[in-house]
Amino acid sequence: MEQDNKPKTAGMQDARPGGPRRHGRPFRGNRPHGAGRPQGPSSSGMGAGRGKRMMRGGRNRPPRRFSPSGGPQQRQAPSNPEYKSQTLNLPPAGENIRIIPLGGVEEVGKNMTAIEFRDDIIVIDAGFQFKDEATPGIDYILPNTRYLEERKEKIRALFITHGHLDHIGGIPYVIDRIGYPTVYTRQFGAIMIQKRQEEFPHLKPLDVKVIAGNETITCGSLKVKTFPISHTIPDSMGLVITTPYGDIVFIEDVRVDNIKGVPTEEEVRQYEQFKGKEYLLLTMDSTSIEKPGFSLSESVVIENIERFIKNTTGRLIIGTFASQVERIIAIIKAADRYHKKVVVEGRSMKANVEIIKLLKLAEITNIIPVEDIDKYPPDRIVMLVTGAQGEEFAALMRMATKQHKQVQLKKTDTVLLSSSIIPTNHSAVVKLKDNLYRSEAKVITYLDSDIHASGHGNRDELKWIHEQIKYRFFMPLHGNHYMLRQHAEMANSIGTPKENIIVPDNGSIVEIYDQGKSIRVLKEKAASNLVLVDGFAVGDVQEVVIRDRQLLSQDGMFIVFAIIDSQTGRLRKSPDIISRGFVYLRESQDLLRDTRNIIKDTIENTANGMNPLNIEMIKANVTDAVSRHLFQETAKRPVVIPVLLTI
């Protein structure tokens, strides 16, 4: 381990460099193919989690200032001639091995990691993250690829561990930026990627290579061997990256198939390949580390759902994630065994069923179109639908709100919500359940019966994997910071020295050096501030824009119109005020009267002796004075927009 005057080491500490972190200013990027707006992530050295916190609106924030060119409607980032990359002039990796998590270690989602050795880089996964309350109006959040863009000529391959969107969803948005490397993945993932790519016809075709479950690919000075792992989607794989100084075992989303806490014989056989050798580094999924024991086996979930399929007397409607492919196959097979027809509703669910058919993962003969649902008795119908997370326009919500054209819920229907609740979707799921109960259908959730199992291993499953692989260094991946810290603590509790454990942030440049004997975190960071998909724009929507959206959603807006005499600096008439989402003006006459007086006094006091008038200064003072007054009177902070005209 090295001291602070050398590249910073982290151990089990936060990998952020010490001292306060400043948010870098964005710069103007280039237009992607077919996009109508400029793009380009900034490089501030900020982790995504920290960036979100800075973007959150709040009641205690000081009054904001606006200008005609920088108001809340602006959506493209201004140019920044002072921008300097932290990594542009970083010396080559040489004989050191660099592992750079570009996403997925300060959140659950947007997974992307780069591994660099000599003049070669491989990239692992390219996912996105869905928006949350901190990013209103945003479609998706992407990993920041600035580090890779600066070195795209070194990128030899993009490996995709499996076909979930948090691992493949970012490909159409980043593949051009990183030079269109060859994409290596297994068959199911390859089809998922190609299907999604069809939604972006302006992009040139991808070079996708389908690989086997145990195959070795040479990428310059690195060799990558794949191995199958257990997850909720077929063809999930881990990687072993071979270097002259030791091998890296890279495991993303994983669980251990088990029977009442005992790993199955297949799992034991699969991990026997790691026996008898010490590996240089282990990286692994941390999502469910805080859950004790082993997770519920998927086989138990299937048995319970099959019991409902067998015994339900009315229609059975099963809402689950479209990504739960193994469960979908099992449900269709079980329905067939009991001579029931299956109706599939929801675009993503239909797409994945088509992939199942294409790959012949199951013989499917019992699916009927929704238009034929009334041709069969209710007890012969099983429906597989999207929307268990309460998505507004998904199939299940449309049924619950009587918006579905063919399916109206009845009291004889049974609805299984075969999924857990994603925390950011809690209110949407509550709304869904309210509507389902209003329909008088019988509703059963994973809290009522064991009808859902996670694709991420619980604490004892991850511990079991650790015990199968002897390694020198450990770096947890895939999860929020507290999840990574808990995973690090667990690794330490079973014998990994603290100084051999790195807990990274997005953009941390972790380096194994001295021929594999030591590990450190460089003081330089890869860019990690938020890169957002916002309509046609792909890039960093400015912090000011996100904050404006948050404030508008919380406290509305307050627009001031005033006409100033350019000669005297006095108002020509009483200011006009428009309020939206703040207060009802007809019931707030005293507030309006006092606010108009403050506007008048502020404008005339500021303009007194000013020749010519500095409109920007007057606007700033009006914004400050009005914001302060409104907060004192209402404890709210609407977005204040002064519109000043001179005559």
Cα dihedral 363, 365, 366, 369 sign: positive
Catalytic member of 164, 456, 481, 629: 456
Q: Is 450 designated active site?
A: no
List CB contacts of 28: < 8 A, sequence separation 6 or more.
38, 40, 76, 77, 78, 79, 80
Q: Name the strand (E) or helix (H) holding 353.
A: helix 347-358
Q: CA 17 to CA 86: how far, in whole Å?
A: 13
Task: Determine if the peptide bond prior to 612 is cis (ω within 30°).
Answer: yes
Q: Which residues of 53-69 are buried (b: 16+ CB within 10 A; e: fewer)?
A: ebbebeeeeebbbbeee
- 387 within 8 A of 423, measured Cβ to Cβ: no
- 476 within 8 A of 459, measured Cβ to Cβ: no
Q: CA 416 to CA 425: how far, in whole Å?
A: 17
Token pair recorded at residue 327: 């469960």
- 355 within 8 A of 189, measured Cβ to Cβ: no
Q: CA 510 to CA 507: how far, in whole Å?
A: 9
Q: CA 544 to CA 71: how far, in whole Å?
A: 8
Catalytic member of 285, 336, 505, 540: 285
Cα dihedral 555, 75, 70, 545 sign: positive
Q: CA 178 to CA 173: how far, in whole Å?
A: 10
Task: Give the residue numbers annotated as catalytic, written as ranges.
Answer: 285, 456
